[in-house]
């Protein structure tokens, strides 16, 4: 039973309507004769403010508004992986021929996120008579080569017994019933979820494992826990997007949900053109097969940008509920906050810091708190996680602005991207002085168990050396490089070797783009051995100039490119060579 | 044509560029209106409707507008521009009407100037190298077809000259067809407009180009239309006619100031430096109209020019432009003072799409490595010259002195190319000459075959 109203005021993306009967906050409204999608965001007596997810040019005062009584929802089910959706869940690729091939987005088109035409092979996990509680897997459908997409009893449904169930291999569309319960509830592969509501779970689990990103500076120095949250702030041109794309490519998550929230259209194209051709190093499938892309680029309507992160989060939670580790990336939180600010401004609300609404922090918290590592509802028992990677684009590169600060309070890892490093083409431009990870303690047992005691020494060696280099560089500013002791001169050179060979990582070089934890540790071990070796020689009287003549940096880079199998052997040979050439030069 | 139109005379006020009508019940958001006075006609657009009260921005400005002498007609249409091949070589005003003339009598179609967002799933990734003939752009901040790359310039720096040079020289190697130039002058002075006109006339761009001109003395509200008109025309030539279109827009700062003027008149809550909170989305609606589309031949490449007030890169207009566009070319006062032309600060400049357009088969093998080496070495040389100010030459090591020499060689031999057009090969040769001032062990990023070349050049010297 829908409820009708009439448009009274129009400004930008917000309209005001009056409604005859009461409406609820955040219910979906269809605006005007074109039935544009919108959402109620404020109720004032009989007057209702609605944010509209599309451009509203050409809409008249007095046109009807229809209140649907339902909050904003999305269809979750097979077919999500590999798809491209806009901020409110409409497929941008289009299913039917009339929708596909639209170069320019037409407003008012209405489409579901799942293709109702595709047929999937269903395989049951339960038999008639079995109990089925919310979250229990009734069966699965096969998606792609070997992905088992669980068909779960909808959360919030009542426990019942299975009365009928489809036989193995039955081809079904997302709307066909694959089973019927004794309470007459038909289970379909597709379930609807209201995007602003968190999906429940049994309990939250403590952090115990890292999410492996394959980036040396991130995994070794500033690791993020599975189920944690990392914030990546940086001014323009510091490589936020490249870092996020590297994470999307190489991290060991089962599913990646990538939200292009108010960013460039060409970046979405890049992902769409590149990812179907790249292999996931962990499973061997193409990267696109584990990816859901939500594209609400900067020129698309602003209100849909606000909704896009909730949509992405709901999709991530759905895959988490299947027992998968999900990485959720949003580029960028600042654009989302700006959308919030724009809508708030149109409502004439009292502005908080820098014009952002006073509820910025609490809205962000609602989003961040949906991440985590959990035991999910239903049988068989499963654990799943959502790890958040959020880029932040602070105005003028100033990290003290409200969005960066609010994000920092809610997350555990901070990867500060630095303009100076980016200008010197040091990528990823993670500033090792400013960045931090609060998960180090929680993850220590994991690292010690998997990499051994050396891991701790290696990480602390890198940190102390970089710290020493910083000190020495400020000393050089005063006395010049020539006035340093031989050991200090070498420490400076070693600092450079660590920066170039370890911290820098070339996202475009197929051999260097991804490092396993073992590779990372072996490389840092070699560097540590090199430091010990040369320091000893210098103590014995070798001059730094002699060391410099060896061109160690170039040799380390060549060694780094060596195949993983014989890295161990070659690196030992190389260290011996270095030792030999230093002792002979001493003799001369 | 409607035989019956309803006009209203109930004008409740005039503020800045806005006119308020208190009987706007029939209006639609964004609707075109005609304002008839005894002294002639003006046009405007509905900005906001609040019950009966309707705010209209007047394109020609409100100077001399008398509320008692106005009749407002709602045109039941949005602002559109007339498109057709006849536009070629024309000079239009901000609304797309030939300057000082009448609307085009014959045209192919009429399209709303706001355009629609390009479907991100239907874009084609830009990847064709555009040779601009400027070494510091081609080698270090390569532009590709379909990119949007602004020029950030402080006052007094030669942004206009560089933009004109790019228009004159830019081509896609192997593609004989020239770019079609759509030029949007947004609030620039008569002198600047004349410079561009003369320069384009000389290079022939004037005859196959379209010029949308809103000068500093013209209405500020019309300034909001000029880039949209220009981009609508560009989209027509690119996606209907298959041209590669190069859109030069100057100066985006004036555009944003006009936006601020209208926003202030609407009494909206101001954001940073008084600019409205939706500045990012508004700028994105312009910049994002660059690109290529799957299955279509044409493309739109944008070079907007953005002034940096007080050379401040954190100014909201510059900052937001940097966040939306795919890189930036930054001009540098220090280089200008040292007599280097074009004074492009390669370290703060960036082309995000560079990697798509370079490498073997596009420019040359090893392009990325050479560029990385140049960036890293030049960054180091800048650091050393700062250090030198403190500790003097005596405090520097041998290696650091090499970097100082490299720094000046890089500026003299590579950056300072003057007005000439260099092919990518010539640019590389200049880079090799500069790199040969550094010893081998510092050039660890350079591939082996180029290393040979560098050693040869070093011996010749």
User: What are the tens digits of pLDDT across the range A331-350?
Assistant: 889 999 999 998 888 888 88
Confidence band of B284 (pLDDT split at 50, 70, 90): very high
Q: Contact A129/A161 with Cβ under 8 angstroms?
A: yes
Distance of alpha carbon A520 from its chain centroid, rounded? 22
The model's pLDDT over B387-419, given as tens digits with 9 standing for 90+, comes to 899 888 888 888 899 999 999 999 999 999 999
User: For residue A281, what are its two tokens?
Assistant: 């190093």
Q: Does the residue B35 lie in any domain?
A: yes
Which residue range(s) make up the domain with B54? 7-78
CA dihedral A433, A435, A438, A442 (to 10 degrees): -80
Asked whether the predicted pLDDT for residue A2 surpasses 80, the reply is no
Residues of B in contact with A103 (CB under 8 A): 118-119, 122, 239, 293, 296
The model's pLDDT over A524-572, given as tens digits with 9 standing for 90+, comes to 999 999 999 999 999 998 998 888 888 898 889 888 888 878 888 899 9
List, in sequence order, every residue forming a beta bridge with A191; answer none if it has no partner.
A76
Asked whether the predicted pLDDT for residue A100 surpasses 70, the reply is no
Confidence band of A395 (pLDDT split at 50, 70, 90): confident
Residues of B in contact with A300 (CB under 8 A): 117
Asked whether the predicted pLDDT for residue B308 surpasses 80, the reply is yes
Kindly state the average pLDDT of the residues A122-147: 92
**Is A481 in Cβ contact with B396 (below 8 Å)?**
yes
pLDDT of A583: 83
State whether B390 and B340 are in the same domain: no
Q: How many domains are contained in chain B?
A: 3
Asked whether the predicted pLDDT for residue B452 surpasses 60, the reply is yes
When CB atoms are compared, the residue of B146, B355, B441 closest to A551 is B441
Q: Does the residue A104 lie in any domain?
A: no
Q: Does the residue A84 lie in any domain?
A: no
B387 touches chain A (CB under 8 A): yes
Kindly state the average pLDDT of the residues B105-109: 86
Interface of B with A in 191-250 (CB under 8 A): 239
Q: How many domains are contained in chain A?
A: 4
Among A46, A52, A103, most B C-beta atoms within 10 A, so best to mutate, is: A103
Q: Does the residue B362 lie in any domain?
A: no
pLDDT of B143: 95
Asked whether the predicted pLDDT for residue A96 surpasses 60, the reply is no
B271 touches chain A (CB under 8 A): yes
pLDDT of B426: 95
**Is B271 in Cβ contact with A425 (below 8 Å)?**
no
pLDDT of B51: 84
Q: Does the residue B201 lie in any domain?
A: yes
Cα separation values, B302 from A266, B8, B151, B244, B328, Å: 14, 42, 10, 11, 11
State whether A120 and A50 are in the same domain: no
State whether B105 and B156 are in the same domain: yes
Cα separation values, A344 from A51, A337, A402, B231, Å: 10, 10, 16, 30
- Domain final position from A136, A154, A189: A189
State whether A432 and A461 are in the same domain: no
Q: Does the residue A96 lie in any domain?
A: no
Burial class (CB in 10 A: 0-12, 13-18, 19+), A576: exposed
High-pLDDT (> 90) share of chain B, %: 62
**Is A273 in Cβ contact with B395 (below 8 Å)?**
no
- Domain final position from A132, A167, A189: A189
In the predicted model, what is the mean pLDDT of chain B? 90
B26 versus A183: which is more confidently predicted? A183
A551 versus A215: which is more confidently predicted? A215
Residues of B in contact with A421 (CB under 8 A): none
End-to-end CA, chain A = 96
Give the gap in angstroms from C-alpha B271 to the nearest C-alpha of chain A: 6
Give the gap in angstroms from C-alpha B443 to the nearest C-alpha of chain A: 9
Among A113, A112, A188, residue whose Cα is nearest residue A153: A188
pLDDT of A161: 93
Kindly state the average pLDDT of the residues A506-513: 84
Predicted ipTM of the assembly: 0.87
Give the gap in angstroms from C-alpha B121 to the nearest C-alpha of chain A: 6
**Is B121 in Cβ contact with A93 (below 8 Å)?**
yes
State whether A224 and A275 are in the same domain: yes
State whether A365 and A244 are in the same domain: yes
State whether A121 and A67 are in the same domain: no
Which residue range(s) make up the domain with A433? 203-439
Q: What is the CATH number of the domain that holds A318?
A: 3.40.50.300
Confidence band of A99 (pLDDT split at 50, 70, 90): low
Confidence band of A97 (pLDDT split at 50, 70, 90): very low
pLDDT of B288: 94
Q: Does the residue B200 lie in any domain?
A: yes
**Is B121 in Cβ contact with A12 (below 8 Å)?**
no
The model's pLDDT over B156-183, given as tens digits with 9 standing for 90+, comes to 999 999 999 999 899 888 777 778 999 9
The model's pLDDT over A26-72, given as tens digits with 9 standing for 90+, comes to 999 999 988 899 999 999 988 999 999 988 888 888 899 999 999 99
- Domain final position from B54, B78, B102: B78
Asked whether the predicted pLDDT for residue A587 surpasses 80, the reply is no
Q: Does the residue B312 lie in any domain?
A: yes
State whether A156 and A249 are in the same domain: no
Tell me the C-alpha distance between A225 and A385, whole Å.
Answer: 10
State whether B106 and B252 are in the same domain: yes
Chain B nearest-CA residue for A427: B372
pLDDT of A425: 82
User: For residue A393, what are its two tokens?
Assistant: 């684009």
pLDDT of B312: 92
End-to-end CA, chain B = 77
State whether A323 and A403 are in the same domain: yes
State whether B271 and B376 are in the same domain: no
pLDDT of B121: 86
Confidence band of B2 (pLDDT split at 50, 70, 90): low
B441 versus A150: which is more confidently predicted? A150
Give the gap in angstroms from C-alpha A171 to the nearest C-alpha of chain B: 29
């Amino acid at each position: 039973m829908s409820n009708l109203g009439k448009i009274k005021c129009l400004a930008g993306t917000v309209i005001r309507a009056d409604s005859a009967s009461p409406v609820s906050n955040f219910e979906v409204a269809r605006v005007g004769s074109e039935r544009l999608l919108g959402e109620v965001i404020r109720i004032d007596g009989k007057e209702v403010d609605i944010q509209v997810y599309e451009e509203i040019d050409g809409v008249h005062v007095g046109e009807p508004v229809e209140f649907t009584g339902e909050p904003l929802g999305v269809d979750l089910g097979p077919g999500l992986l590999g798809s491209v959706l806009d901020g409110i869940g409409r497929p941008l690729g289009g299913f039917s021929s009339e929708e596909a091939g639209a170069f320019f987005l037409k407003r008012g088109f209405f489409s579901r996120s799942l293709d109702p035409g595709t047929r999937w092979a269903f395989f049951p996990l339960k038999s008639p008579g079995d109990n089925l509680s919310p979250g229990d897997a009734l069966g699965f459908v096969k998606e792609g080569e070997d992905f088992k997409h669980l068909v779960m009893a909808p959360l919030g449904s009542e426990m019942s017994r299975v009365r009928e169930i489809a036989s193995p291999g039955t081809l079904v569309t997302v709307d066909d019933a694959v089973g019927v319960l004794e309470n007459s509830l038909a289970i379909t592969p597709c379930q609807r979820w209201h995007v602003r509501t968190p999906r429940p779970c049994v309990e939250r689990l403590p952090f115990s494992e890292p999410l492996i990103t394959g980036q040396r500076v991130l995994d070794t120095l500033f690791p993020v826990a599975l189920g944690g949250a990392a914030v990546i702030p940086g001014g323009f041109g510091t490589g936020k997007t490249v870092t996020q794309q590297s994470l999307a490519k190489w991290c060991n998550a089962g599913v990646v949900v990538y939200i292009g929230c108010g960013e460039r259209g060409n970046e979405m194209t890049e992902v769409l053109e590149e990812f179907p051709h790249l292999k996931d190093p962990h499973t061997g499938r193409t990267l696109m097969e584990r990816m859901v892309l939500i594209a609400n680029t900067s020129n698309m309507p602003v209100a849909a940008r606000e909704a896009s992160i909730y949509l992405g989060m709901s999709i991530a939670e759905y895959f988490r509920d299947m027992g998968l580790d999900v990485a959720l990336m949003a580029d960028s939180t600042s654009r989302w906050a700006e959308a919030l600010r724009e809508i708030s401004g149109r409502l004439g609300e009292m502005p908080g810091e820098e014009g952002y609404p006073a509820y910025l922090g609490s809205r962000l918290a609602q989003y961040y708190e949906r991440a985590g590592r959990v035991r999910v509802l239903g049988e068989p028992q499963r654990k799943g996680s959502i790890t958040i990677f959020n880029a932040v684009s602070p105005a003028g590169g100033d990290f003290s602005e409200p969005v960066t600060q609010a994000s920092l309070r809610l997350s555990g890892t901070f990867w500060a991207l630095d303009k100076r490093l980016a200008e010197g083409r040091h990528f990823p431009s993670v500033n090792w002085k400013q960045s931090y990870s609060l998960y180090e303690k929680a993850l220590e047992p994991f690292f010690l168990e998997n990499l051994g005691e050396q891991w701790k020494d290696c990480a602390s060696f890198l940190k102390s050396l970089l710290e020493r280099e910083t000190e020495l560089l400020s000393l050089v500013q005063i006395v010049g490089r020539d006035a340093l002791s031989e050991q200090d001169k070498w420490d400076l050179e070693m600092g450079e070797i660590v920066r170039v060979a370890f911290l820098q990582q070339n996202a475009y070089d197929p051999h260097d783009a991804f490092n396993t934890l073992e590779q990372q540790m072996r490389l840092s071990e070699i560097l540590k051995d090199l430091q010990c070796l040369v320091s000893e020689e210098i103590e014995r009287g070798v001059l730094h100039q002699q060391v410099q003549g060896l061109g160690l940096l170039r040799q380390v880079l060549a060694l780094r490119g060596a195949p993983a199998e014989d890295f161990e052997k070659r690196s030992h040979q190389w260290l011996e060579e270095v030792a030999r050439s230093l002792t002979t030069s001493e003799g001369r | 044509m409607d035989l019956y139109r309803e006009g209203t005379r109930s004008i409740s006020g005039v503020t800045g560029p806005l006119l308020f009508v208190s009987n706007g019940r029939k209006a639609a958001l964004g609707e075109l209106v005609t304002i008839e006075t005894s002294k002639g006609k003006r046009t405007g657009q509905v900005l906001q409707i609040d019950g009966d009260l309707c705010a209209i921005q007047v394109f020609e400005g409100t100077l001399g507008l008398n509320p008692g002498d106005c009749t407002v007609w709602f045109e039941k249409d949005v602002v559109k521009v007339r498109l057709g091949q006849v536009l070629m070589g024309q000079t239009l005003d901000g609304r797309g009407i030939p300057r000082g003339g009448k609307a085009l009598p014959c045209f192919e179609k009429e399209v709303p100037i706001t355009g629609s967002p390009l479907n991100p799933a239907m874009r084609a990734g830009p990847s064709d190298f555009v040779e601009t003939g400027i070494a510091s752009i081609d080698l270090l901040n390569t532009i590709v077809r379909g990119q949007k790359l602004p020029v950030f310039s402080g006052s007094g720096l030669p942004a206009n000259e560089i933009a004109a040079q790019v228009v004159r020289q830019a081509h896609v190697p192997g593609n004989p067809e020239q770019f079609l130039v759509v030029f949007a002058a947004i609030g620039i002075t008569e002198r600047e407009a004349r410079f561009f006109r003369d320069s384009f006339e000389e290079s022939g761009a004037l005859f196959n180009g379209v010029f949308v001109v809103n000068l500093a003395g013209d209405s500020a509200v019309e300034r909001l239309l000029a880039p949209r008109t220009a981009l609508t025309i560009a989209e027509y030539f690119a996606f209907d006619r298959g041209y590669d279109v190069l859109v030069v827009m100057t100066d985006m700062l004036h555009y944003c100031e006009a936006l601020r003027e209208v926003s202030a008149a609407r009494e909206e809550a101001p954001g940073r430096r008084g600019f409205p909170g939706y500045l990012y989305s508004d700028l994105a609606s312009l910049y994002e109209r660059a690109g290529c589309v799957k299955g279509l031949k044409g493309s739109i490449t944008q070079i907007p020019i953005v002034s940096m007030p007080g050379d401040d890169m954190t100014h909201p207009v510059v900052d937001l432009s940097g966040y939306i566009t795919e890189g930036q070319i930054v001009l540098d006062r220090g280089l200008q003072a040292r007599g280097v032309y074009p004074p492009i600060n390669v370290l703060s400049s960036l082309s995000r799409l560079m990697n798509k357009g370079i490498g073997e088969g596009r420019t040359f093998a090893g392009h990325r490595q050479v560029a990385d080496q140049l960036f890293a070495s030049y960054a180091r040389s800048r650091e050393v010259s700062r250090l030198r100010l403190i500790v003097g030459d005596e405090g520097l090591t041998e290696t650091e002195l090499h970097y100082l020499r490299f720094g000046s060689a890089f500026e003299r031999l590579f950056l300072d190319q003057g007005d000439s057009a260099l092919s990518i090969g010539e640019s590389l040769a200049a880079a090799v000459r500069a790199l040969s001032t550094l010893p081998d062990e510092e050039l660890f990023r350079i591939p082996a075959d180029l290393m040979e070349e560098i050693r040869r050049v070093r011996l010749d010297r």
